[in-house]
Structure 1
């Protein structure tokens, strides 16, 4: 797998997993199994960032859950992901939405990192006082 690839599980090992998405963080470290779909976007039709959020949306997750096969470990397929009915705006709007959502995710990650470091910073400050 390459850095930036979007993946989604095809089996539901835990309730709600179908439709979850992840981005491969670095190249050459991960391999794709048959239980994972790699999302490949036609760049002239679908923005990659927009697709990442669209597939993990409640609308798509509900559709995948409704057509999943089996009862214990449920399965889906790339065709069932493609068959989901969604509204997709023009490419320029997709890019704007994808960029905005990615920016919000980065800010959330940064805030979490800051919050995790606050106790350390507080102890360091109190130690000097």
Structure 2
């Protein structure tokens, strides 16, 4: 497999693929993070890393821009999944992906906002 993959305690951490987006959306909606609207908003973020256990996606981490124009990483987990062991690895992979894919500073914020808006628009049109 190309790219970063890490395995700990039967959990695999890797970058998000297009084929993961259905499971990512399921977890996002399961967490109640989008209760105010039927359509996704940019609060969904840009999914960059996932955690899998036995070929089942159990969590993902997204990059999004906050009100202060800073990039922050937020992770979401399938209900019933403890996040204390997975969160550090998952969020570190997402941060690493941001740094390697989007540079740093104000340009990174613009690029992440743009990519997130395009992804959300595409996902909303697909559903």
Normalized per residue, which structure has more strand? 2
Do the structures match in fold with TM over 0.5? Answer: no
Give TM-score, length-normalised by structure 1: 0.32
Normalized per residue, which structure has more helix? 1
Name the larger-Rg structure. 1
